[in-house]
A and B are shown apart, each in its own frame.
Chain A
């Protein structure tokens, strides 16, 4: 019986190889070729803006409180118009584990994940990103959400039912 097993064991790998030779390759020639990441891929973090172009982040500290590795720090400050914003905002990507808990905690949908994952470098300090590095000029996957228009506008469920209100955003929703 062991002879039959040996023959099978010799031929089967060739068969597997033969099958895969006919398939399209799954690997890409990184870094010459770059792969399109999945929509819900959790890569580097960014700070988005509201539809009016203002920073969404109100420096509420919830992301830094939710962060399991304490890689987010910030200082809140009062703007000229009385708005709360981050005087500085810092993410240490050498510590970040890309768990995405910060994005779940964020009440203003300011901090969001991108598909970007290329964060290797020689100098770890270059991976400490400041607010200017993190800020983007769009609203990420929730382009219409505006905290200052939603806040306090209506908690009565379902939210956004009143004529002056905009439709509610599901903060758990990650679909683009």
Chain B
């Protein structure tokens, strides 16, 4: 620690702090334009100049100068004010000062500083630029005439996002921020640059001219898309969510968001939302009142009783999931499940058998300090983009060694020095087994306290790196190096995402990853962690609250087959579009067709809802209070920001009504439900709503120690023998099927596509935008082709979000689908 004096105030800070950070600590205000807490010091704007006694009275930038012992800093003097004013005059020489028509007006750093330092005239003359604005893309508008060249956009895109869209081009007065070849922006559209820009040079286009900042009401909530659990601060006006505001003080995401979080809010205000309950009369769905709809639901479910199946998506709040479980109890049914029932088994069965846990063992921020990171599947960035940004920071700032076990290239494989074990589809387990074998063979495994070592050794006989290299197509050295790096690292992380498109071998993959984490000692070690992350915002909450089949209950897949055979009397589907997203659409449709009574509770009239007997309009995450548990076990508060459209009600209210229809006692408020569920859930014992502070509350502390340390042998699979294999997965711009109702993500990826590698495209004579047909098992799907260099030869990819594609007609949960390509 270092002691210094700023404006007469004594302050003690760490020796790595800068003068600016020390001043913040001391409560001394120093103006800044180019500084951002999460970025490296840069010193571009020179607004933060201060005087340091020991430096011969020379003015130095506070944001880039590290503190030294005994420093005496003056933050404000007549000379400093004069110099800052001059700096602002310089900045204003080129700035267009079109504040009245600029959406930043009212929260612009340059405007605030100009006002603070009373810059009313300018002694310097210069040219005003008349650069064309970049309005090519629908999400981010760039007007470089307003730019002050702080470089924050270029830095955040490089340091945090790892995309590198922007750079300074030209020199001297002509310097400006531009994309490659100065073309229109075409990137991930995460909008980090938007959130960083201190002026109005980069603005969110969906928010253009919508409101002034002072008119917006800000409500901190949690994003309703992926399991990352980013804080989104909803800016609302007139009961409408108008924008997402920058907020780096709350939550785990440091103000970082992805395209879905920042631009995917418009489904909340969508015109297509259900506003009235629907009931099937004479074969068609007609609007009805809540009383009638609920009476019908109560009647139907009472009749079916214990032969009711309840399936939910993992998008509900913990409180709602708790009520849903109570509904199942009230019905005497143990048939309750979520997210297709299969994809989460890596966590609930895989990690349970090995580590005795059903959750990730550490928290996201720790990953930034890891020395080695193993990502199983490159899609991890697509499913959890903001966590992916943490990985990028680890790689770029701390030289972490990143290894990606991937069947296709992606964002992760492009990170600096990232090693990609590019394997044939569906062979992840083989590779992990080979890595375990390397650890055991070379004596790198930390086998003390582990049970099942010998069994594992025996089972891994077939997984010598050489053999696995041959089957998977990965080099032996790469497998060995990956294993060695992971074992040698002081802090290491293993990342694995699960979700509906990753149903295949989910349990085996969970076990394999857990084996590796045990052999390397990653599980439970401080600073390291095994992260098994759910695709949906409350996947972890659903597992914590045991929204899973009971001992004699049926899982989602069994419920569907039971329904198809006429053995299930009713199905209650809450917040899930089974027809669009569950594997094997035909089977799902058959089941929903056969089941005598189907209730669907959703935001939209999804293909599943269209088959229902009763459709209940529910509320989005922005309309309800409650809690979500993210993929690192962080329980965070969700707050209602806007009222629900029409007669739509929150799932909480609907479930309460259903419960009372059965004469069961329902908690009156979400807070009451939270108190009940914490008392009821072992891991949540003793947690109260007050404990969920700005950063939420991580149950089981930051590091979750494994309860058991069993190694369990799992068999890998054999490569699929087919000339063309289709992979199913997530696209970065979408999450589940919900984002297909949001304008932002739809503006970037508006329709389903089938992705080809360049070699395949050339061989098959397929060009970007061509309509291609894929046939498998007598079913044909058709979509436009997308060509790029992510995929190895013979491998195709299609995202699962779009119902129209009917991908699940051929996707039945296989790791890869053998397809014939036609036009």
On A, residues with C-beta under 8 Å from B are 58-62, 65, 76-78, 82-84, 107-108, 147, 151-157, 161-162
B interface residue count range (under 10 / 10 to 19 / 20 to 34 / 35 or more): 20 to 34
| A-facing residues in B99-123 (Cβ within 8 Å) | 99-101, 105, 121-123
Contact B212 A61 (CB under 8 A): yes
Q: Which of B7-15, B89-97, B253-261, B365-373 contacts A (4 or more CB under 8 A)?
A: B89-97
Contact B93 A60 (CB under 8 A): no
Cross-interface CB contact of A155 among B95, B135, B215, cutoff 8 Å: B95
Contacts of A60 in B (CB 8 A): 99-101, 105, 212
Q: Which of B124-132, B243-251, B495-503, B799-807 contacts A (4 or more CB under 8 A)?
A: B124-132
Subset of 19 A-B contacts with CB under 8 Å: A58-B101, A59-B209, A60-B100, A60-B105, A60-B212, A76-B210, A76-B211, A77-B209, A78-B208, A84-B100, A151-B96, A151-B100, A151-B101, A152-B97, A152-B128, A154-B125, A156-B122, A156-B126, A162-B125
- A1: min CB distance to chain B, Å: 64
Q: Told that A65-B212, A155-B95, A156-B122 touch, could you supply 20 new A-B pairs with CB distance under 8 A?
A: A58-B100, A59-B209, A60-B105, A76-B211, A78-B209, A82-B135, A83-B101, A108-B100, A147-B100, A151-B96, A152-B97, A152-B145, A155-B92, A155-B122, A156-B123, A156-B124, A156-B125, A157-B121, A157-B122, A161-B125
Cross-interface CB contact of A157 among B100, B123, B126, B215, cutoff 8 Å: B123
Docked pose: A27 CA to B105 CA in angstroms: 48
B214: interface (CB < 8 Å): yes
A interface footprint on B177-195 (CB within 8 Å = 1, 0 otherwise):
0000000000000000000
- B253: min CB distance to chain A, Å: 30
Residue of A nearest to B126 (CB): A156
Docked pose: A147 CA to B101 CA in angstroms: 10
Contact A84 B128 (CB under 8 A): no
Contacts of A162 in B (CB 8 A): 125
B98: interface (CB < 8 Å): yes
Contacts of B128 in A (CB 8 A): 152-154
Contacts of A62 in B (CB 8 A): 100
Residue of A nearest to B238 (CB): A75
Known contacts A65-B214, A78-B208, A78-B209; decide if A151 and B122 are in contact (CB<8 Å). Answer: no
- A54: min CB distance to chain B, Å: 13
Residue of B nearest to A62 (CB): B100
Contacts of A108 in B (CB 8 A): 100
Residue of A nearest to B214 (CB): A65
Known contacts A77-B209, A152-B145; decide if A84 and B125 are in contact (CB<8 Å). Answer: no
Cross-interface CB contact of B100 among A77, A82, A107, A154, cutoff 8 Å: A107
Docked pose: A108 CA to B101 CA in angstroms: 10
Cross-interface CB contact of A61 among B93, B121, B215, cutoff 8 Å: B215
- A47: min CB distance to chain B, Å: 14
Docked pose: A59 CA to B209 CA in angstroms: 9
Interface SS, B side? loop
Residue of A nearest to B120 (CB): A157
Contacts of B96 in A (CB 8 A): 151-152
Contacts of A153 in B (CB 8 A): 128
Q: Which of A65, A76, A83 has the most CB of B within 10 A?
A: A76
Contacts of B214 in A (CB 8 A): 65
| A-facing residues in B770-799 (Cβ within 8 Å) | none
| A-facing residues in B192-217 (Cβ within 8 Å) | 208-212, 214-215
Docked pose: A60 CA to B209 CA in angstroms: 9
Known contacts A61-B215, A78-B208, A84-B209; decide if A151 and B98 are in contact (CB<8 Å). Answer: yes
Contacts of A65 in B (CB 8 A): 212, 214
Cross-interface CB contact of A107 among B99, B145, B211, B215, cutoff 8 Å: B99
A interface footprint on B74-97 (CB within 8 Å = 1, 0 otherwise):
000000000000000000110111
Cross-interface CB contact of A152 among B98, B125, B135, B212, cutoff 8 Å: B98
- B236: min CB distance to chain A, Å: 15
- B131: min CB distance to chain A, Å: 11
- B158: min CB distance to chain A, Å: 29
Docked pose: A157 CA to B92 CA in angstroms: 11
| A-facing residues in B209-229 (Cβ within 8 Å) | 209-212, 214-215
Residue of A nearest to B121 (CB): A157
- A13: min CB distance to chain B, Å: 56
Residue of A nearest to B145 (CB): A152
Contacts of B212 in A (CB 8 A): 60-61, 65
Q: Which of A62, A84, A152, A154 has the most CB of B within 10 A?
A: A152
Contacts of B95 in A (CB 8 A): 152, 155
Docked pose: A162 CA to B128 CA in angstroms: 12
Residue of B nearest to A157 (CB): B121
Contacts of A58 in B (CB 8 A): 100-101
Known contacts A61-B215, A65-B214, A76-B210; decide if A151 and B105 are in contact (CB<8 Å). Answer: no
Docked pose: A82 CA to B124 CA in angstroms: 30
Contact B99 A155 (CB under 8 A): no
- B133: min CB distance to chain A, Å: 8
| A-facing residues in B124-167 (Cβ within 8 Å) | 124-126, 128, 135, 145
Q: Which of B92, B97, B123, B214 has the most CB of A within 10 A?
A: B97
Contacts of A82 in B (CB 8 A): 135
Contact B100 A155 (CB under 8 A): no
